[in-house]
Structure 1
Amino acid sequence: MNCTYFGVYTVAGARRGGNATSISWPWNGLNVLRKNSPRCRVFKVNVLAKGRKEAIRSAWDDEPFEILPSGKIVHLDVQDIVTILEPPKELIPLDPASYNPATYVWKKIGDIPEARRHQLLLLLKPRLVSRLWAVAGSRFDDPKLMKKSASSLTSMQDAEWSREFWTCQKSLGPFPISWVNNFKKVLFRGQDGAIYGRLFLGDTVLGRAASSFSPLYFSVKEVSEVMATEQPCDLAYDFGDGLLDPANVPEGFPVPVSHRQPFADQLVVYIRHAGPGVMVGQAWQEGKELEQVPKKFCGEILMVKDPGPVEESPVPRIT
C-alpha cells in the first residue's frame, strides 16, 4: 500500500553560510520543529508499495520559514522587510546619502509572492508601520520609483478588475473605533470613471451592522502632499460627508448616508505606495472650520491587497 509522509529539515544556518541540518522524519522532525527549529523547510515523501521513497517538492519548499511563538508561520522573505525597516548596526550603509531604503523595500515586497504578503500584517507592529511611512517617503527622491503604484486601479490606469479588496491594520484612534484595529477596504471604479472606496470595520455583528446601515464611503484623489505636514504622498481618501452619487455605488452596496462621528469631521487618509500590493496611510481629522487645527486620527495604517480576482462578495470577511 502506498502512503505519504511529511518531513522537515532546518535551514537556520543556510543564510549565515552554514549547512542545513537534517531531522528524522516523519514525526520526530515535527516535534523538533516546534521546540528548537525556528527556520525550516517542508518536504513531502511518498512511500511506494515496495518501500521505495519518492521525494516530492512542496509549495513551502520555495522559501524557508519561521514558526513564531504563537504557532503562525512567517517566511524569511517577509522578515527581510523588518530587517530593512529596522536594520542591525552592521547593516547600516556607510554612505546614507547614496542609499534609498524605499527602493529596497519596493524590491523586497515585489519578491514576496502575492499570496503571502498578508504576513506583513502579522510582523509589522505599529512602530514599524510608522517607520514604513517614513521610508516610503524617500520614494519621492527617485523619479522612476515615483511613477510606480501599489495598485493598477488607483494608478488611474486601465485595470483588469473594477474592484480591489485590501486588508488593513491600524493602531490607536478615538472611541468607538479604538478597538477596531483590523478592517477591510474595497476600492472600486464608479460609472463616472473616478475611483471610490468603502471601509468595513470588523467582522463582528455590530461591525457588519454598522457597515450596512452607515457605510463608510470615500473618494480617491491624487494629491501631492499631506495638508497638515506638507509631506509628500500619492493619494488621499477623502471621506467628506459620505453622500456619494448612488449611480457610482456598486450593485449590492448600501445606499450612501451622511457619515457619523468620528468620521464626519473632514476625515482624510493620505496614502503612500510602499510596494506592489502594499500601501501605508496616515489619517487626519482636518475639521470643517477654518480655524480648526488638524489632528491625527489614529496611528499609521498598513494596507495589503488581497490576492487574486475579487469580483465577488460586496461584504468581505475579516480574517
Structure 2
Amino acid sequence: MKQHEGGRQVRIGIITGSGTERLPGAQVLATMTPDTPYGPTSGPITLAEVSGRTVAFLARHGAGHSLPPQQINYRANLWALKSLGVEGIISSSAVGGLRPGYAPETFVLTNQLIDRSTGRIDTYFDGSRPTGVRHLPASDPFCSTLRRHLQQALTARGLPFQAQGTVVVINGPRFSTRAESAWYVSGGADIISMTQYPEPVLAAELNMGFANLAYVTDSDTGHDGSAPVTAEAVFGRLKAAQPHILAVLEAAVSTLDEGYRAPQLMDPEAVRIIMDQPVPGPSANAALGFEPAPAVSR
C-alpha cells in the first residue's frame, strides 16, 4: 500500500462530474499532476482529508469543465489513481431519467450499464502491451460494497433515491433524439449518461472497486411531459444539489472499512505489469494529450 503525506494511506478515489469540480471543506494535503503511460490525466489530482481519511480527488472534465466526454483520457485517470494506492473509486455524475421512478432530483445507485459509446479506448489489455489480451468478467460492473455505503449515506439523510438502475452511456456531447431515448428504454435503460463508460471496467481491470452516485437532473427528451434537457437545466439542478452530493460522498468515505479491498477480477500479475510500465517525461505526455474543448455533459 502506498503512503503519502507523512505515512497517510490513500485507499479511496473520488471522481466527480459536471458541476462538482472541488471538494469544499476538505483539508487539502497535496496537489499533483502525475505522468502516466497513457498521457495526461484530466487535471491535477488532489489528496485531501475527508472525514479523517485521505482520498484522491479528480474532476473528470478538468478545470472549468473543459473536456467533453469523448475526449476524457479515462485510462490515464484510472492508472494515476491506482498508482497512488487507490483500492476503490466513488464516482458522482449527472444523468437523465428515462422512465417513471427516475425523476429529476432523484439519486440512483447504478448497478448495470449498457455501452452505446463509440471510439473510446476501453481496455488496458489491447494486445499492444506485454500482458497481451485479457478478458474481464463484467457481469456486475459496480462494486456492491461501495454501493451499500452510498445507500446508507442517502438513507441517513432522507434523500430520495433508487437503490439500483441501469445506465445507458452515449457518446455526447449532444443529447438524445426522442427516438433514441425511446429505444434505450425498450432496451432496459433507466438513466442516461455520457461518462459512465469505460470508467467502471477500467477500474476493474486494475482490480479497483467502482461505484457511481448518479443524480437525475432532467427527463432527457421529456417523456414525463417536461421540456427536453438543456445544459442550463443540468447545471441549475446540479448547483442546488451540490451540498447533498458532497455530503453523501463524505459520509460514504467515513464509514468505509479501512481494510476494504475490491474484488480481484484480473490476474494480479497482469495488473502489476500494466502498473510497472515506464512513464514518459512531461513533454512526451503532452504530445499524447487531447486538445480541451468547452463542453457540457452529464
TM-score interval for Structure 1 and Structure 2 normalised by the shorter chain: 0.3 to 0.5
Which of structures 1 and 2 has the bigger CA Rg? Answer: 1
TM-score, structure 1 normalization: 0.31
TM-score, structure 2 normalization: 0.32
Q: Which structure is higher in RCO with an 8 Å CA cutoff and minimum separation 6?
A: 2
